[in-house]
Amino acid sequence: MKDVLSILAIVLPALIIIIGFVRLFAKNAKGVNSLTMFFAIILLVIGLLRFFIYDKATKSGDSAPKDPPLSVSKHSDSFNNSVGDLLTAYYGMIEGFVNWDTVVINERGNALMLAFDSLKLDEIKKDSLIYQTALDPYSNAKIELGAILEDPSLSEKRGSLNILSDNLRNLLVIIKYDQAKVYWQECPMAFDGDKPGNWLSKTIAVRNPYLGTKDPQYGNKMLECGGPKDTIDFVADNATKN
């Protein structure tokens, strides 16, 4: 619409000027009076300046990159920090699985249990439905973590890791964790060579905790086996326009 008005602001006074000159030189025709011609010329100059300078400058400004939207979390800092601590401990435990290191698995697993116990779920009690829904995966995740810590078999620990990861994923989705993306990764041959296993990752890069770096058959060649199946991303939902 603006472009049409800008063009008309040029065409109409130009037509008046052209008609004025035609009538001036035509026989038995009166020309457009000089005052009208003067205003038409002024309007034409203004129209040209607006079209070629002002409008283009405005469009150029509109196309300039805008500042990214400010991120505003739906949760308190203390709640987000408690979830962040939980994920940090979980990612550390995953590295223990990657390296077939039961000492690190148990050490980071204990830190993860502490993070679960310190998770500030009471904050979401204001929404009783979300709170009650979150309790089930929260409790199941703790049960599987306990099994990881108690079972000496690395193979059994991996089985519990799969269930723990699934419950932790559900928990993050229910509470709509919005401080960072979390990638849901899958290894298609985690169990018995043909059954999938899943885990959470803070990056899209694959570091497979089910095959890892010391697989007796493939060594560390299977470290990157698998890939992302989904992304937990509520970060975009918490943005507000500047």
Burial class of residue 134, CB neighbours in 10 A (0-12, 13-18, 19+):
buried
| CB atoms closer than 10 angstroms to residue 131 | 17
- Going by the DSSP 8-state scheme, the letter that residue 50 receives in this structure is I
Quote the CA–CA distance of 206 and 188 in Å, as a whole number: 13
Q: Quick check: 238 and 74 in contact, CB under 8 A?
A: yes
- Residue 210 in tokens: 């089910």
Q: What is the mean pLDDT of each run of 10 residues along the chain (242 residues)?
A: 58 61 55 58 65 56 48 83 97 97 97 97 92 96 98 96 98 95 96 94 95 76 89 77 36
Quote the CA–CA distance of 8 and 2 in Å, as a whole number: 10
Global pTM? 0.69
Domain spans of the chain? 2-62, 71-240
Q: What is the pLDDT of residue 114?
A: 98
- CA pseudo-torsion sign 13, 14, 19, 21: positive
Quote the CA–CA distance of 143 and 146 in Å, as a whole number: 5
Per-residue CA distances from 88 to 23, 38, 115, 225 (Å): 84, 76, 9, 23
Q: What is the pLDDT of residue 206?
A: 95
Per-residue CA distances from 110 to 86, 157, 178 (Å): 11, 14, 25
| CB atoms closer than 10 angstroms to residue 79 | 20
How do the residues of the chain divide into helix, strand and coil, expressed in percent and rounded to 5? 60, 10, 25
Q: Is 185 helix (H, G, I), strand (E, B) or coil?
A: strand
Q: Output 54-63 pairs: Cβ under 8 A, ≥24 positions apart.
A: 55/2, 55/3, 55/6
Q: What is the DSSP string of 87-129?
A: HHHHHHHHHHHHTT-HHHHHHHHHHHHHHHHH--GGGGGGSHH
Q: Is 184 helix (H, G, I), strand (E, B) or coil?
A: strand
